[in-house]
């Protein structure tokens, strides 16, 4: 079977006329139809509408109209993004009774305005509360590099669809690691932007005070291209703090030149398996990083993130928990209930800590431009795994997958997840986090570009 081009190649091929948007789309549709019964990345497809969109792109090119930067690029979205005329499931059974969305989510609109072609919606942990996409309602999402292993979560379908070559671009969300974990487990590029950078209007929330939205892609240049298309102020979203577009694509070629790059130690080394440590060492060597940097209060930040997530998540679903608890995901319903019962004093204390914590984190970036850390402690475990081993110690699997991502997102920093392939993982990837100061996505992407150019970070074809 002919595999689709990567994101950058697709955009270039359609722009130059080497391929039509219709042909690109048909290749992706064929790939989805041939592979998704095994992967279960998609929960819904809209191929007829996608074909109409692709035809419009080709008609624009035939007329000599200026095409958008993503013209003809197929994409799919985590099923918490609104798609006009469809019910926004957010991975749940409860939401099936909701009315269809009356408009596309803002980020879906922006990608389509740039010429991208929407092909469907993607599997996820119910209400984004999980790290494995072992969804009881819609079935688990399988890792394309090793079927029977998790794809990560909560944006598991978003990571798996890119890794399987089904689409070159997807959208996901990241509260405690839900872009970076699937990127790590599936071996694709992911970007968790600065908190408040991208509009969240038209998406189903999990934790309003921590939720981020961002893209997955099969090459880092394509990731940057998509991110530029997603940017822009949104005065109708009180959680969007961006006041301008700050393009990153043009600065990618600068690579790591002049960047002050350090490696996070302590918590981030001690809770990383040898393959995860190996991935970090490879990235550090390629970026010329030798100094070890101490991240402030990671254990406390993770605890505060847990408290915040449980409290806000429980409060959001309180009425449904009272009346439809049996319809919730068995793997998360107890956590939602316990979160709804948490004392308010815990939540307030977590928020007070967060203000001090952010100041400590931001102070690090007076001396550093990019900091490297593993994205996950281990490679993707088998579906159904209850415990993982990290350096000889057992940890509960599902919550511990986010050990290394939660402290970072609680500070709101932008992170690029870069796919690396260390030894000792039975062929599975483990990603690294490239962390920058708030509003400096450009620096994290430059570091990712440098790793890509050095051949250290890259996407591999899944053997399906």
| Residues belonging to the active site | 78, 154, 178
* Residue (of 205, 398, 198, 414) closest to 309 by Cα position: 205
Query: Parallel, antiparallel, or unpaired: how do β-strands 370-374 and 387-390 relate?
Result: unpaired
- CA–CA gap between residue 422 and residue 119 (Å, rounded): 33
Contacts of 407 (CB under 8 A, 6+ apart): 267, 295, 297, 298, 301, 302, 305
What is the DSSP code (8-state) at residue 81? B
Half-sphere exposure of 96 (CA within 13 A, CB side): 10
Contacts of 123 (CB under 8 A, 6+ apart): 40, 41, 42, 43, 79, 91, 133, 135, 138, 139, 141, 156, 157, 160
DSSP letter, residue 16: H
Q: How many beta carbons lie within 10 A of that of residue 128, not counting itself?
A: 28
Per residue, the 3-state secondary structure of 60-72, as one string, reads HHHHCCCCCCCCC
**Residue 40 corresponds to which tokens in the numbers above?**
């279960």
Q: Which phi and psi (to 5°) does residue 151 adopt?
A: -95, 0
- Helix axes of 441-453 and 220-230: crossing angle, nearest 10 degrees: 160
CB 326: neighbour CB atoms within 10 A?
8
* Rounded CA Rg of the chain: 20
Long-range contacts, 233-237 (Cβ 8 Å, 24+): 234/106, 234/199, 234/201, 236/201, 237/106, 237/199, 237/200, 237/201
What is the C-alpha separation between 323 and 125, in angstroms, rounded?
21
d(CA 382, CA 395): 15
């Amino acid at each position: 079977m002919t595999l689709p081009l990567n994101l950058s190649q697709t955009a270039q091929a359609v722009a130059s006329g080497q391929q039509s948007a219709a042909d690109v789309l048909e290749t992706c549709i064929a790939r989805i139809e041939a592979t998704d019964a095994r992967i279960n990345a998609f929960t819904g497809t809209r191929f007829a509408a996608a074909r109409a969109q692709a035809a419009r792109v080709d008609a624009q090119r035939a007329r000599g109209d200026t095409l958008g930067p993503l013209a003809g690029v197929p994409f799919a979205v985590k099923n918490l993004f609104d798609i006009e005329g469809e019910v926004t499931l957010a991975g749940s059974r409860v939401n099936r009774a909701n009315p269809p969305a009356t408009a596309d989510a803002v980020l879906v609109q922006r990608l389509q305005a740039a010429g991208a072609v929407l092909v469907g919606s993607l599997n996820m942990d119910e209400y984004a509360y999980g790290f494995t996409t072992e969804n009881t309602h819609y079935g688990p999402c399988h890792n394309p590099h090793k079927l029977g292993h998790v794809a990560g979560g909560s944006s598991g379908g978003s990571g798996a669809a890119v890794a399987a070559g089904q689409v070159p671009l997807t959208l996901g969300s990241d509260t405690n690691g839900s872009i970076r974990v699937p990127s790590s487990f599936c071996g694709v590029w992911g970007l968790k932007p600065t908190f408040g950078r991208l509009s969240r209007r038209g998406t189903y929330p999990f934790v309003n005070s921590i939720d981020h939205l961002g893209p997955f892609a099969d090459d880092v240049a394509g990731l940057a291209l998509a991110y530029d298309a997603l940017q822009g102020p949104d005065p109708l979203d009180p959680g969007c703090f961006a006041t301008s577009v700050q393009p990153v694509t043009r600065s990618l070629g600068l690579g790591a030149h002049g960047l002050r790059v350090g490696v996070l130690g302590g918590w981030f080394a001690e809770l990383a398996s040898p393959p995860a440590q190996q991935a970090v060492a490879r990235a550090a060597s390629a970026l010329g990083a030798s100094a070890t940097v101490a991240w402030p209060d990671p254990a406390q930040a993770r605890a505060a993130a847990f408290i915040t997530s449980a409290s806000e998540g429980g409060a959001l679903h309180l009425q449904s928990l009272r009346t439809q608890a049996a319809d919730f995901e068995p793997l998360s319903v107890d956590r939602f209930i316990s979160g709804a019962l948490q004392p308010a004093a815990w939540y307030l204390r977590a928020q007070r800590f967060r203000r001090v914590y952010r100041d400590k984190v931001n102070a690090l970036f007076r001396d550093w431009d990019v900091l490297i850390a593993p994205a996950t402690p281990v490679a993707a475990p088998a579906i159904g795994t209850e415990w993982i081993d990290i350096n000889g110690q057992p940890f509960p699997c599902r919550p511990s997958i986010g050990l290394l991502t939660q402290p970072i997102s609680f500070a709101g920093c932008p992170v690029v997840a870069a796919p690396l392939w260390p030894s000792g993982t039975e062929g599975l990837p483990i990603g690294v986090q490239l962390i920058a100061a708030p509003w400096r996505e450009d620096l994290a992407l430059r570091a990712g570009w440098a790793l890509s150019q050095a051949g250290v970070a890259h996407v591999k074809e899944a053997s399906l």
